Chain A
Amino acid sequence: MVPPASSPRSGSVTPRVVFPNKVLPYLLVAPQLAITLVFFYWPAGQAFYQSMLRQDPFGLRTKFVWFANFRKVLADPAYLNSIKVTVVFSLATAIVAMCVALLLAVMAEKVVRGKGLYRTLLIWPYAVAPAIAGMLWLFLFNPSIGSLAYMLRSFGIAWDPLLNGTHAMILLVSAAAWKQISYNFLFFVAGLQAVPKALIEAAAMDGAGETKRFWTIVFPLLAPTTFFLLVVNTVYALFDTFGIVHAVTGGGPGKTTETLVYKVYNDGFVNLILGDSAAQSVILMIIVISLTAIQFRYVERKVHYG
Chain B
Amino acid sequence: MATVDLKDVKKIYPSGFEAVKGVSIAVPDKELCVLVGPSGCGKSTLLRMIAGLETISSGTVAIDGKIVNSIGPTERDIAMVFQNYALYPHMKVYDNMAYGLRNRGTPKDEIDSRVRATAKILELSALLDRRPRELSGGQRQRVAMGRAIVRNPRVFLFDEPLSNLDAKLRGQMRVEIKNLQRSLGVTSVYVTHDQLEAMTLADILVVMNAGLVEQVGAPLDVYERPASTFVASFIGAPPMNLLPLSQGPAGPALADGKTIEFAPANAVTLGFRPEDADVTFGVEAPSGALVLPALVEAVEPVGAESFLHCAAGGSRIVVRVAGRATATVGNQLRVVAKAEKLHWFDQAGKRV
Give me the interface of A with B, judged by CB distance under 8 Å: 196, 198-199, 201-209, 212, 216-217, 220-221, 223, 305-306
With the chains together, A207 CA to B103 CA distance in Å?
6
In the assembled complex, which residues on chain B have CB atoms less than 8 Å from the CB atom of A206? 79, 99-100, 103, 147, 151
Alpha-carbon distance A206/B53, docked complex (angstroms): 12
Chain A nearest CB from B127 CB (Å) reads 16
Residue B78 interfacial (CB < 8 Å): yes
Additional pairs, 8, CB under 8 Å, beyond known A196-B86, A205-B51: A198-B82, A199-B88, A202-B88, A205-B73, A205-B74, A205-B78, A205-B79, A212-B103
Task: Kindly provide the distance from the CB of A304 to the nearest chain B CB, expressed in whole angstroms.
Answer: 9
B88 cross-chain contacts in A, Cβ below 8 A: 199, 202-203, 217
CB distance from B133 to the nearest CB of A (A): 6
Residue of A nearest to B105 (CB): A207
- On chain B, the residues within 8 Å of A201 by CB distance are 51, 53, 73, 80, 82, 86
Interface centre among A198, A207, A208, A209 (most CB of B within 10 A): A207
- Mark each residue of chain B from 78 to 97: 1 if its CB lies under 8 Å from any CB of chain A, else 0: 11101110111110000000
Q: Judging by beta carbons under 8 Å apart, are A306 and B74 in contact?
A: no
Contact A216 B99 (CB under 8 A): yes
The answer to whether A203 and B99 have CB atoms under 8 Å apart is: yes
Contacts A205-B74, A208-B74: A306 and B151 contacting too (C-beta < 8 A)? no
Residue of B72, B83, B90, B151 near A305 (CB, 8 A) is B90
The number of chain B residues with a CB under 8 A from chain A is: 28
Are B80's CB and A202's CB within 8 A?
yes
C-alpha spacing A182/B104, complex, angstroms: 38
* Chain B stretch 126-166: residues in CB contact (< 8 A) with chain A: 131-133, 147, 151
| B76 nearest in chain A by CB position | A205
Question: Nearest 3 CB-CB pairs, A to B?
Answer: A305-B89, A206-B100, A198-B86
Q: In the bound complex, do residue B86 and residue A208 qualify as a contact, i.e. CB atoms below 8 Å apart?
A: no
For B132, the chain A residues whose CB sits under 8 A away are 305-306
Of A203, A212, A223, the most chain B CB neighbours within 10 A belong to A203
* B52 cross-chain contacts in A, Cβ below 8 A: 204-205
Distance between B44 CB and nearest chain A CB, rounded to angstroms: 12
Q: Closest approach, in angstroms, between the C-beta of B190 and any C-beta of chain A?
A: 16
Say yes or no: B82 contacts A202, CB within 8 Å: yes
* Cα-based distance from A279 to B73 in the complex (angstroms): 62
Q: Kindly list chain B residues whose C-beta atoms are within 8 Å of the C-beta of A203.
A: 88, 99
Residue of A nearest to B148 (CB): A205
- Residues of chain B within 8 A (CB-CB) of A212 are 103
- Minimal beta-carbon separation of A173 from chain B (angstroms): 31
Contacts of A198 in B (CB 8 A): 82-84, 86
Residues of chain A within 8 A of B73, CB atoms compared: 201, 204-205
* Interface bits B255-287 vs A (CB < 8 Å: 1, else 0): 000000000000000000000000000000000
Mark B106-117 against chain A: 1 for CB-CB distance below 8 A, else 0.
000000000000
Q: Are B99 and A208 in contact (CB under 8 A)?
A: yes
Contact of B100 with A207 in the complex, beta carbons under 8 Å: yes
The smallest C-beta distance from A248 to any residue of chain B, in angstroms, reads 40
Q: Once bound together, how far apart are the Cα atoms of A223 and B133, in whole Å?
A: 17
What CA separation (Å) do A204 and B88 show in the bound complex?
12
Mark contacts of B177-194 with chain A using CB atoms, 8 A cut-off: 1 yes-contact digit, 0 otherwise: 000000000000000000
Nearest chain B CB to A266 CB, angstrom units? 46
Query: From residue A205, how far is it (CB to closest CB) to chain B in Å?
Result: 5
Chain A residues whose C-beta falls within 8 Å of the C-beta of B74 in the assembled complex: 204-205, 207-209
> In the assembly, what is the distance between CA of A204 and CA of B80, in Å?
10
Interchain CA distance A306-B84 in the complex, whole Å: 12
CB of A221 within 8 A of CB of B99, answer no
Quick one: which of B90, B104, B132 has the most chain A CB within 10 A? B90
A205 to B51, CA, bound (A): 8
Chain A minimum-CB-distance residue to B72: A204
Evaluate contact between B147 and A305: CB separation under 8 angstroms. Answer: no
Contact A207 B104 (CB under 8 A): yes
B254 to A: closest C-beta gap in Å: 50
Interface residues of B in 308-346 (CB under 8 A from A): none
Chain A minimum-CB-distance residue to B81: A202
